Amino acid sequence: MVKKKSYKNSVIFSTILVMIGLVFTKGSGFLRDIFVSIKFSEDVYRDSFTLAFTIPDLFYNLLVGGAIFSTITPYLSGQIAIGEEKKGMRTTSIFISVVSVVMITVCTLGTIFSKPIYSLYALKGGIDDQTLDLASSASKMLFPQIFFIMLAALSIGILNSYKRFSSTAFAPTIYNIAVLISILVFAGNSKEKLVMTTGGILVASIVYAAFQYLVGRDKLKQIRFIFKPRDPDFIALFKRAIPILISSSIIQINVVILNYFAGQFDSGSIYGFRNASTIWQIPYGIFTVAITTVMTPTLAGYHESKQYEEASKLLSARIKSALFLMIPSAFFMALMSLDVVKAIYQWTSSYTDTNAKTASTFLLGFTTAIITASVAHLFNQAFYAIGQTKIPLLAGLISLVLNPCFCQVLIWLGVGPMSLSIAYSITNVCQMLILIFLYFRRKELAPRHMAGAIIKCFGAAIIMTAIVFALDKLIPAQGGKIMQLLIITLKGVVAVVVYFLSTIFLKMEEATFWISRFKAKLPGRKS
């Protein structure tokens, strides 16, 4: 009993630690977007800077991105759980060696042929030539960057297998700070300054990789360069990774598609779309990602050691925790979309009310995805943890077909720019339902007792929204920047308090747990 309680406390501590790290990462990421809007005061340079990342990011995800956390971490965690650490590290070394050789080749080709690659955006009257020329020039520094991002991410994936979350939580913040310095020093409204900025970001990625290796050197020093692509264990791992690699690239392909459609609207739409994408991923990127980061290696260990009951309980608890946080977040952002955008991005006159309205329009369409993408991500990671990587690939391929179709239909119906984010949200609903249906076929692993928790979360969120709506009518956002921030902060605090009190009244386990934790720390109480 003591051991089980100690383990539970360890999981909670790890999750909170990762959340704190993600808060710093997201916060520094927001500063980056704010500085981009200030230093690149013209829409064409903002759009070009945003677009420059899309193709390198696609290559990264196609070659290694998803495989790091969804293949390496579960695989190595499972090997450690059954006492095969040495074998796991050898296979991981081969994987890293082979992927590194391929990545170096791809980075070189991407740098050489960036212009013809980006010209694909111009097909059928897409993005204008000036934006494409600037983006392709800036990307020449971003292709080699993805090699160093890969090395850092691989280091994080390995350390997460050992549950060394304290060694991985804050490294991305170091990278973002270095990127901020690059933008502040080099950015401006010229092609030369744009390219110098991405050159600085390349240096930031090198710092990121070096820092992550140093903090995890005691484990990472076991990695060796072993180029044996015909090794049976590597082939087995690679076959497991292929569906994940394709699934990860599908996410980025959908980003490319959405940017293509965004380029057909007014100037500044690409940057506004990025602003909205960044905002809706605040709760998703902090809470859901933290929950799955800690869950995945443990779930993989349970499955590998055939502890199916524990695996089911773990997934059930993590889904409830995610929904407890995501549902009110979605309601609040839907209600306060324009105020949230202005609070985050409108620091100077270069970010106009028109820019804010464009981003808030996209954000409103994204609010459903806050919930559905979180659930889909949890089930994706659950499938990866149990080694069934083809099912997330199937769901991803279906989304790849549905996303542009929904975009085109909604644009044709005259929905306007919001078509893109609504299409993305609808696609996520479809993907989530497919994953849930297929995962529940494994009855011994399926989550349980979910309906009551979901109903209570929505009920509390509706009460919260009604109170905040009334407060918004009473105290609308107005005045200078400080006053705007104070008003949105007040509404946020009221939302949290009302939601939390509502969930306590409804006797939700997720709320009462924190009360019991607080009481346990009071003087005279036993821990």
**pLDDT tens sequence across 166-204:** 667 677 888 888 888 999 899 888 999 999 999 999 999
Which pLDDT band holds residue 7 (cuts at 50, 70, 90)?
very low
Average pLDDT over residues 411-427: 88
Residue 432 sits in the same domain as residue 469? no
Tens-place pLDDT, residues 81-112? 778 888 888 988 998 898 889 889 988 998 99
C-alpha separations of 426 from 22, 269, 433, 437 in Å: 27, 21, 11, 17
Residue 307 sits in the same domain as residue 444? yes
Q: What is the DSSP string of 409-469?
A: HHHHTT-TTHHHHHHHHHHHHHHHHHHHHHHTTSTTTS--S-HHHHHHHHHHHHHHHHHHH
Structurally, the chain folds into a number of domains equal to 2
**Distance between CA atoms of residues 245 and 236, nearest Å:** 15
pLDDT at residue 389 tops 90: no
* Residues 194/187, Cβ–Cβ less than 8 Å: yes
287, two tokens: 């809470």
DSSP 3-state percent helix, strand, coil across the chain (nearest 5):
85, 0, 15
Average pLDDT over residues 414-443: 90
- Note the pLDDT of residue 123: 63
Domain that includes residue 457, residue range: 450-527
- Note the pLDDT of residue 29: 66
Residue 443 sits in the same domain as residue 500? no
Residue 308 sits in the same domain as residue 378? yes
Residue 437 sits in the same domain as residue 455? no
- Note the pLDDT of residue 200: 93
Nearest to 45 by CA among 205, 192, 204: 192
pLDDT at residue 467 tops 90: yes
* Residues 290/45, Cβ–Cβ less than 8 Å: no
The structure's pTM equals 0.70
Residue 164 sits in the same domain as residue 146? yes
Q: Which stretch, 42-56, 86-100, 455-469, 470-484, has highest mean pLDDT?
A: 455-469
Residue 360 sits in the same domain as residue 481? no
Which pLDDT band holds residue 305 (cuts at 50, 70, 90)?
confident
Last residue of a domain, one of 448, 471, 494: 448
Last residue of a domain, one of 414, 448, 482: 448
Mean residue pLDDT of the chain comes to 83
Could you give the count of Cα atoms lying within 13 Å of 361 in the half-sphere of its Cβ?
20
Q: Which stretch, 145-159, 177-191, 349-363, 454-468, has highest mean pLDDT?
A: 454-468
Average pLDDT over residues 518-522: 53
Task: Give the residue, 36 or 63, on which the prediction is more confident.
Answer: 36
**Distance between CA atoms of residues 391 and 214, nearest Å:** 36
Residue 371 sits in the same domain as residue 467? no
Tens-place pLDDT, residues 67-78? 666 677 778 877
What's at 322, amino acid-wise? A
Residue 124 sits in the same domain as residue 145? yes
- Note the pLDDT of residue 468: 94
Last residue of a domain, one of 448, 483, 498: 448
C-alpha separations of 116 from 129, 284, 334 in Å: 12, 35, 39
Residue 346 sits in the same domain as residue 490? no
- Note the pLDDT of residue 2: 42
Nearest to 418 by CA among 231, 272, 526: 272
- Note the pLDDT of residue 33: 75
Which pLDDT band holds residue 269 (cuts at 50, 70, 90)?
confident
Please state the three-class secondary structure of 67-130 as a single string: HHHHHHHHHHHHHHHCCCHHHHHHHHHHHHHHHHHHHHHHHHHHHHCHHHHHHHHHCCCCCCHH
Q: How far is CA 246 from the centre of its chain?
A: 17
Residue 222 sits in the same domain as residue 272? yes
Which pLDDT band holds residue 323 (cuts at 50, 70, 90)?
very high
**Distance between CA atoms of residues 342 and 490, nearest Å:** 15
pLDDT at residue 124 tops 60: no
Residue 392 sits in the same domain as residue 479? no
- Note the pLDDT of residue 379: 92
Percent of the chain exceeding pLDDT 90 equals 22
- Note the pLDDT of residue 57: 82
